[in-house]
Amino acid sequence: MICLTTARDYGSELDLLTKDMNELKQLVSQLISARSPQKLLKTDDLNEQSANAAVENELGAIFYSGQYHGGNGFRWAPRQQDVAQLLDLNSDKVAKILAALGNKQRLDILTAVMRQPLTGSEIVEQLNMGTTGQLYHHTKALLGADLLMQEERGGKYSLPPHRSLPFLLLLAASSDLLDTTDYMELTEVRNDAESYLGAGRDYDPHHLLWSVVENTLLEHQAGYSTEVTIIVQDDKSITVADNGRGIPTQAFPHSTKTPVQAVLTGIGHFNASASILAPGGLKGIDMPVVNALSEKLSVEVRRDGKVFRQDFKHGIPQSELMIIGVTKETGTTLTFTPDQHVFGARFDKTILTNQIAELRKNYPNLKIELLD
């Protein structure tokens, strides 16, 4: 048998391989250039670019991806955006987006159809709109903004699939910012102190104290508190301690906020505290108002065999509700310092003595002690 072999031209093969590698390098280079175009820069441009890059590096980047499993399922592939670029978004357009979603009825419409597609009449009935006129006004805006879709004229409304995940993520972000609404309201209290304390400049800090004491009186009337101690401190603060049940400490379902924080920060909602109306005041002074008008406030709760504590500054929590000890007692101790920028006067022992004597007459079964 005769075998014929052909000699390989290794030089030609290497030349061809080199050519292929050069073409591959060129394609990769083009791809990189398309994603981050480069240009010749002057020295000043390089310095400016370096400064901008330093700022962007300092701010960092945000990485995100997500997938919503549902009727309007949608997936975001992993992506990255520089924080500096996000902060440079067109604020006018961003404000319009937030304004479109910030309307309560529009938000209610979107959350309703997110649960299940609904007809116009079903939305009106479910949201108690009364008339279809309101619905038409809002759905027209939402349809035009591509935040709502309708099967056909007169058909059911639903959220466009590609809007479902961004909408849910916006709600998720909002849930982490819900407490800021309380803090804004607390700030408004400070800016509108006259409505709570009456006209004039020499506001009376005793009104804050009586509001705190009033809550102890309610606990006594409910059959739980038999003792209350008021302590005037050297640092212009004052303490009110009782032996009632203690404010509940267990967080609300689906929330990290505790009743302690809600009672002390919730202006006008979830507010079980009593209120005192100052002479000339238009609004009642309750526990959140006391908190807002205090330089600092600390609450200790004795309940369920534990001692809990949380600190506030101008109404804003400075700590979580912490366990700081154990006890067999129950009750609440609240110490606060009236804001010296609002209240010029200090607590007056004569005023306190006279008021406490009156309280002892009205509540003979409640032991009230004043310590200085």
> Distance between CA atoms of 257 and 275, rounded to whole angstroms?
22
What pLDDT is stored for residue 9 in this prediction? Answer: 64
**DSSP state for residue 344 in the 8-state scheme:** -
| Contact in structure between 286 and 215 (CB atoms under 8 Å) | no
Confidence of residue 32 (pLDDT cuts 50, 70, 90): low
The fraction of the chain above a pLDDT of 90, given in percent, is 46
Which sign, positive or negative, has the C-alpha torsion 263, 269, 275, 280? positive
Confidence band of 38 (pLDDT split at 50, 70, 90): very low
Q: Which has the closest alpha carbon to 363: 239, 241, 226?
A: 226
Under a CB-based contact definition with an 8 Å cutoff, are residues 338 and 197 in contact? no
- Mean local confidence (pLDDT), 21-38: 56
Quickly list DSSP for 106-164.
HHHHHHHHHHS-B-HHHHHHHTT-SSHHHHHHHHHHHHHTTS-EESSTTS-EE--HHHH
- Looking at the predicted structure, is the pLDDT value of residue 307 above 50? yes
Q: What's the pLDDT score for residue 169?
A: 86
**Exposure string (b/e) for 310-322, b if CB count within 10 Å is 16 or more?**
bbbebbbbeeebe
> For residue 322, is pLDDT > 60?
yes
Q: How far apart are CA 369 and CA 362, in angstroms?
A: 15
Q: Name residue 287's amino acid.
A: M
pLDDT class for 332, splitting at 50, 70, 90?
very high
Q: Name residue 175's beta-bridge partners.
A: none
- Per-residue confidence (pLDDT) for residue 8, from 0 to 100: 59
Query: Rounded to an integer, what distance in angstroms lies between the CA atom of residue 239 and that of residue 338?
Result: 12
For the chain, what is the radius of gyration of the CA atoms? 33
Q: Distance between CA atoms of 240 and 209, rounded to whole angstroms?
A: 8
Main-chain dihedrals φ then ψ at residue 77, nearest 5 degrees:
-70, 150
On whether the CB atoms of residues 317 and 265 are closer than 8 A, the answer is yes
The more confidently predicted of residues 102 and 205 is 205
pLDDT tens figures, 248-294:
999 877 777 899 999 999 886 545 566 788 888 889 999 999 999 99
Q: For residue 351, which of 154, 155, 206 has the smallest C-alpha distance?
A: 206
- Average pLDDT (334-347) is 92
Question: What domains appear along the chain, each with residue ranges and CATH number?
Answer: 66-175 (1.10.10.10), 180-371 (3.30.565.10)
Give the model's pLDDT for residue 303.
96
Condensed to tens digits (0 to 9), the pLDDT of residues 143-196 reads 888 889 998 877 899 988 888 888 888 888 888 787 788 888 899 999 999 999
Please write the tens of the pLDDT for every residue from 42-90: 545 545 555 555 544 577 888 878 887 766 677 778 888 888 888 888 8
Neighbours of 205 (CB within 10 A): 24
Share of the chain above pLDDT 70, in %: 82
Q: Is the pLDDT of residue 94 over 90?
A: no
Exposure of 308 by Cβ count < 10 A (0-12 exposed, 13-18 middle, 19+ buried)? buried
Q: How confident is the model at residue 317 (pLDDT cuts 50, 70, 90)?
A: very high
CA 229 to chain centre: 35
Phi and psi at 242, nearest 5°, equal -130, 170
Model confidence at 98, pLDDT cuts 50, 70, 90, reads confident
User: What is the Cα–Cα distance from 338 to 356, expressed in whole angstroms?
Assistant: 20
